[in-house]
Amino acid sequence: MKTEQVSIEQAESRESTGRVEAFSDGIFGVAITLLSLEIGVEEYANATNANLFNNILELWPKYIAYFNSFATVLLMWLAHHQMFRLIKKPNSSLILANGLLLLIVALVPFPTKTVGQFIDTEAKNVAVEFYTGYFLLVNFAYMLLWKIAAAKTKGLLHSFVTDEIVSAVNSRIRIGGLINLTCFSLSFINPWLGIIANIISWIYWVVAFKE
């Protein structure tokens, strides 16, 4: 009986939050698509097979930035999806907080392009600090979104969402924030440490948001 009630509530939630989720999915999809548009070899005169191949290889910083950001945005989308499975209905505050998150997500190609262009230059410190700091900002946006969703006075969560589930989500977000803060801090010590730590952080997110 309890399982049936949960299924009914989830079905009703999809109807209630459907427009918010559909809009959000579109923004995540656009952000991921735009990441790939930043990679390409500029047309130049006297191109040969050899120098074109070399130019493709020289784009390695952009490849690193692309794959790291793609994986990060994908995991962010997964976190968003799982969060909304717990939400029964949205209110204006939740929609605005979700909009803030999407505003930040939509701009991910900007820090990605920046770090891809400058990671192998004298400006690599600022590029990586900007890049890792940006994902720390994303974490704060998730924190705000969940704080609004989980407010007991608002009744936005399903009845099957226990205090233990809320505490578990709170814990994941706090740990995620600590990880992002660590990546950001390491980027001031050594930019490559910041990038490597950011890549390694995938492991936490994969484990934290698996079914």
**Structural domain boundaries in the chain:** 2-208
Is the model more confident about 91 or about 54? 91
Task: Say how far apart CA 5 and CA 57 lie, in whole Å.
Answer: 55
How confident is residue 45, by pLDDT bands cut at 50, 70 and 90?
A: low
CA dist 192 and 197 (Å) reads 8
CA distance 148 to 97: 8
Angle at CA of residue 40, ends 34 and 43, nearest 5° = 135
> Which token pair is 186?
């390491």
The percentage of the chain sitting over the pLDDT mark of 70, rounded to a whole number, equals 90
Distance CA 194, CA 113 (A): 16
Query: Chain-wide mean pLDDT for the chain?
Result: 87
- The per-residue pLDDT for 59 is 85
For position 16, what pLDDT does the model report?
78
C-alpha dihedral, 32 to 36 to 38 to 42, nearest 10°: -170
Handedness of CA 60, 110, 175, 194 (dihedral sign): positive
pLDDT surpassing 80 at residue 206: no
Does residue 2 carry a pLDDT above 60?
no
| Residue 36 near residue 54 (C-beta atoms within 8 A) | no
The token duo for 39 is: 């990679």
* The CA-based dihedral angle spanning residues 151, 153, 155, 156, taken in that order and rounded to the nearest 10 degrees: -30
pTM: 0.85
DSSP assignment letter at 88: S
Strand partners, 87: 157
